[in-house]
Structure 1
Amino acid sequence: MKGTIVRTPEQEEYAHPAHDRFFLRDVVTATLNPALSVHRGRIEVGGEIRPHTHDQQAETFYILGGEALCTMNGKETVLTAGCCVVAPAGVSHNLKNVGEEPVELLALFTPPLK
């Protein structure tokens, strides 16, 4: 078995169809790692990842930059660089950009989303 190096800036970025001004790059999918998937995300100013749940995956997201309001389990928390959130399967969560610059994040799914 050999390892793989992924150069995220070379990956195609796409707009998420269910959210507002949220763009993604699929960094690692189940093809590379059957245990998890990793996605690089950007929420533009005023954008939002709308409230949603995942039936089978836990989502762990790590904020790289910007300022986002996270709502999970009815509680609102402002997140900045270095904050990490775990949303277990079945738990509703969302992120809204409340700052003046894009929110940059990594989203990890176990098991893989894709």
Structure 2
Amino acid sequence: MTKKISKETAEHYMWGGSCDGWHLVKGQELSVIHERMPAQTAEVRHYHERARQFFFVLSGQAVLEVEGVRHALGSQEGVEVPPGAAHQMKNEGEEAVEFLVISQPTTRGDRINEES
């Protein structure tokens, strides 16, 4: 069934203690999540065995580290992350960053955190 979705109507969850996520598309073959990271936050470095992801910044500034390469991302910029590539999204700035994470297939049950 096709229906309109927005951040205000999407399923919301918290992660990393202070970060927000909204499931815009939550399927087995495709996941689209709108995420918000406050200033000076980062996710745990990890990889996915099956899922290919695309991170796209909507507002703010972020750093997406992929296999040791830092990608500084501004508004309307993105990076694709292939399966098996260790990555970590970071907000090193003083303002919140909002971005989309598009995954195919879903990352549920496919995330492997790296040791610190």
TM range (shorter): 0.7 to 0.9
State the AA in 2 paired with 1:13: H
- 1:20/1:79 Cα in 2 relative to 1: closer, same or farther (>3 Å)? farther
Contact residue 66 and residue 103 of structure 1 kept, 8 A = yes
The percent of aligned pairs where both chains have the same amino acid is 26
Q: How many residues align?
A: 108
- Could you tell me which amino acid in structure 2 is paired with residue 83 of structure 1? E
> Paired residue for 2:13?
14
Q: Deviations over 1:76-105 (max 9, x none)?
A: 121111111111111011111122211100
In the alignment, is the contact (CA less than 8 A) between 1:65 and 1:103 conserved in 2? yes
Stretches of structure 2 lacking an aligned partner (at least 5 in a row): 109-116
Q: What is the root-mean-square deviation of aligned Cα atoms in Å?
A: 1.6
Output the CA distance in 1 between the equivalents of 2:89 and 2:95.
Answer: 14
Equivalent residue in structure 2 for 1:112, among 106, 110, 115 = 106
- Give structure 1 regions of 4+ aligned residues with deviation exceeding 4 angstroms: none
2:59 equivalent to 1:100: no
C-alpha distance in structure 2 between counterparts of 1:29 and 1:92, whole Å:
23
TM-score when scaled to structure 1?
0.84
